[in-house]
Amino acid sequence: MDPPLPPPPPPETPPMMTPPEGLPPRPEKKTVVNVHHQHAASEGAVEMKKGKMVDRTGVMEKMSVSLLQVLMDLDDHFLKASEGAHEVSKMLEANRMHYHSNFADNRGHIDHSARVMRVITWNRSFKGMLNTIDGRDDFDNDEWETHATVLDKMLAWEKKLYEEVKAGELMKIEYQRKVALLNKQKRRGANAESIEKTKAAVSHLHTRYIVDMQSMDSTVHEIQRLRDDQLYPKLVELVDGMAKMWETMYSHHDSQLKIVNGIKNLDILTTVRETTEHHHGRTVQLHDVIREWQSQFQKLISHQKEYIQALNSWLKLNLIPTESNLKEKVSSPPRVHHPPIQDLLVSWHEHMEKLPDELAKNAIQSFVAVTNTIMLLQQEELKQKEKCEELRKEYMKKSRAFDDWYHKHSQKKAATGEDIEGENPEVANQKDLVAERKFVVDSLKTRLDDEIEAHQKLCRQVREKSLGSLKSHLPELFRAMSDFALASSEMYRSLGSVSASQNSET
């Protein structure tokens, strides 16, 4: 087989058809001269021509396209496509280690409990006060706000709300128990002192409940503020970044599709070129990379769907009012029942469910099977080569042994003056012995020639099948990826228009 394909792009940069209006112009195709992958230096690179072939002296009459150059161009576009995802990766802190509900950064150990409590007790009126570490408060500075830190803040406030609701429910139960006791005392005509004591307990619990409900409303208000002022802008920013990323992906995958369509004109050399261990190792590496690409692509799709589904489920709960059944109304800011984030998340979820990802998944899976088949064919060829080498060693060993024996046998006959032409039975037996031993060596040579011929035939079959598979499946792969990337870019542009209309209304 020809040199294996370059590795696919990283998992966060999965792959896109006719450029939609507004896409950046396709970068000018250039020849890669700095070979940064070992596969580019792989032995056995095939240089095929439509017309006459380049001879070994370097004279060329007509050149079409070489498979090695195709692979290098594909690799170049993969690297550029990967670069197109850097902004989204940075936005999501993809290269940073995140701990569960922790404001993780790269400045050493972080006390999780202290940081969470700092967020909960955070007072914006102290903005500008210097802290004891570096003279600034990270959480009051939008420069330090990321998607992850906003979610961590919201989680901390949600935990606080959970504890407040739980405490409020327990207090309500205690309040209702005291009210029931007061009513019971009144019905039974208890003494005035007991009734007044119970009334005082009821009044105290009622006051505490009202205060706690006001605190709960403040917590709810803060969660709403984080939702509308921080999470929503981060999601809008992510949508814009994803739209640009997928547009970049599309432009490169579409270019790759055009490149691989050119290998239809390739043919194998008439001279047999066998697979080397180095070449086979690169094929195994390619197979592993494509299989990892398949795994990461599936995770990309499933994790996006899971995240948007989780946000939608949370928002449904977030929009449920926290009400008190006490007669007194608690003073609280009006609840926003239709925040801007709602339309974005609902639309995002609907679009993700309609995203045609199965074709792309199947195309990658199919190419995994192709590389696996090529890998197995190469293994069969290498085993046949090993068989030839072992048989050649055996033949050389027995051939040398026969030559040595025959040389000694001839010297012995010459020394004893035996008449080869005579009819001495002993001489005839010696002739038979020579013929018998020579027959063994000749038979081994015939077997070796047959195995070498079988190996050369297998070499050609492996190269033909490998090139045939690449011709048929590479265009299929990049067509599916370019279609998916185009659909993804259109989806995120559509989501961008949803957020833009929300902003114009507000």
CA dist 390 and 329 (Å) reads: 94
Contact between 65 and 29 under an 8 Å Cβ cutoff? The reply is no
Q: Tell me the CA distances in angstroms from 126 to 111, 139, 152, 172, 502, one per residue in order.
A: 22, 11, 21, 35, 32
Number of helices and strands in the chain (H, E): 10, 0
Cβ atoms within 10 A of the Cβ of 207, count?
Answer: 11
Buried b / exposed e along 243-281 (16+ C-beta atoms within 10 A)? bbbbbbbbbbbbbbbebbeebeebebeeeebbbeeebbe
At a CB cut-off of 8 Å and minimum separation 6, what does 181 contact? 198
CA dist 416 and 443 (Å) reads: 31
Axis crossing angle, helix 147-188 with helix 192-226, rounded to the nearest 10: 160
Contact between 45 and 71 under an 8 Å Cβ cutoff? The reply is no
Full-model pTM: 0.69
pLDDT score recorded for residue 500: 74
Contact between 263 and 70 under an 8 Å Cβ cutoff? The reply is yes
CA dist 490 and 308 (Å) reads: 18
Place of tokens 């995140």: 98
pLDDT score recorded for residue 50: 35
pLDDT score recorded for residue 305: 95
- DSSP secondary structure, 344-384, as one string: HHHHHHHHHHH--HHHHHHHHHHHHHHHHHHHHHHHHHHHH
pLDDT score recorded for residue 268: 62
Place of tokens 């993780």: 104
Taking 3-state DSSP, the helix, strand and coil percentages for the chain, each rounded to the nearest 5, stand at 70, 0, 30
Tally of CA atoms within 13 A in the half-sphere of 446 that contains its CB: 6
Q: What is the DSSP letter of 243?
A: H
Single-letter residue type at 364: I
Single-letter residue type at 460: R
Q: Is the dihedral of CA 155, 156, 162, 164 positive or negative?
A: negative
Q: What is the DSSP letter of 133?
A: T
Place of tokens 């999780």: 112
pLDDT score recorded for residue 323: 58
CA dist 379 and 397 (Å) reads: 27
pLDDT score recorded for residue 431: 72
Tally of CA atoms within 13 A in the half-sphere of 103 that contains its CB: 23
Of 111, 218, 227, 131, nearest in space to 140 by CA: 131
Cβ atoms within 10 A of the Cβ of 337, count?
Answer: 8
Domain extents for the chain? 38-93+227-505
- Residues of the chain with pLDDT below 50 are 1-64, 100-140, 327-332, 336, 420, 422
